[in-house]
Amino acid sequence: MSEWTEEMQIRWIEKSSEWISMKAIETNPSGLEVASKNLIDWMERIGFDIVTHVDPQASYRPVIVASKPPNSGDNWIGFFHHYDVEPADVDEWNTDPWNAEVRDGMLFGRGIADNIGPFVQRLIYIEENMPDVGLLFVIQGEEEIGSPWAHQVYPTLELPDVDFWIDETGYFFKNGDQRVLYVGQNDTIDRINLRLSDINQVENKETKVRNRVMSKAFGENRCPCIAHLLKGKAYLAIGPNDDSVRVHGTDEAIDMSYLPLCASHLKVVFEEALA
């Protein structure tokens, strides 16, 4: 059975389109509030415990910590994500940035690559294939304005001891080869990288492994996840974006043909976390 079914693909389009339409930007506080509540409701429904950390100056975009303990053992995976998106100039787009559109195998809409699409895929996959490993999500709603509240809150969080962290997404090159980014010596990460390479080879894609974190718009040291949460733990960046997604640019889009492959990669991550 495919790790990414047609039904999951349809749901991904619908849920991603819904989140895009919320217009979760700093100048639209109601959109951020709706996005955070929608996210909390979804994650609670599929079994996560939720703790929110509310900025008294901006209660509409809380930091959300969602956790689901392992069924047995003490293996945990941590995920970084954010539910806010960059503003968009409607006049510069060929489509309405807040009304998702599928065209030529791509889903267009502001925030689909950064990082609605990768986030929604992970949650759909987890809901359909709940792994036995412990799952921790640390999620903010102000990444696009420099994370002022997250920088205050993240150093104070009392979190499970994760085995490794997964960044919000990763990248494929324009030719379809995958760029896997990792940091830290970890046997699990090494096994994952080997299996990802094997899977990609079957799809006639090469795998380029790089020992570094993913580039951030505000710089690595100003990313609250990398600055405050890693704490020497291993780190991996994988996901469905490619070099043509136009993050923060006009006509931002994701090539949906990467989703089945990335679902297979998620399966490997969860399997190896329990090995």
pLDDT for the residue numbered 185:
79
Q: Which two tokens stand for residue 156?
A: 């104070």
pLDDT for the residue numbered 220:
60
Contact in structure between 237 and 250 (CB atoms under 8 Å): no
- Sequence-distant (6+) residues with CB within 8 A of 127 are 46
At which residue do the structure tokens 């799809």 appear? 203
pLDDT for the residue numbered 83:
98
Percent of the chain with pLDDT over 70: 98
Residues 256-271 have pLDDT tens digits of 999 999 999 999 999 9
Residue 270 phi, psi dihedral angles, 5° rounding:
-70, -40
Average of per-residue pLDDT across 21-37: 98
Q: What is the mean pLDDT of the chain?
A: 95
What is the DSSP pairing of strand 207-211 with strand 178-183?
parallel
Cα dihedral sign for 122, 124, 129, 132?
positive
d(CA 55, CA 148) in angstroms, rounded, equals 10
Residues 52-69 have pLDDT tens digits of 999 999 999 999 999 999
100: nearest Cα among 212, 183, 16 = 16
Contact in structure between 135 and 48 (CB atoms under 8 Å): yes
Q: Is the pLDDT score of 218 beyond 70?
A: no
Average of per-residue pLDDT across 81-93: 97
Residue 214 pLDDT grade (very low, low, confident, very high; cuts 50, 70, 90): confident
d(CA 161, CA 141) in angstroms, rounded, equals 24
- The domain made up of 6-273 has a fold known as Aminopeptidase (3.40.630)
Percent of the chain with pLDDT over 90: 92
d(CA 151, CA 14) in angstroms, rounded, equals 32
Residues 176-206 have pLDDT tens digits of 999 999 999 789 999 999 999 999 999 999 9
Residue 1 pLDDT grade (very low, low, confident, very high; cuts 50, 70, 90): very low
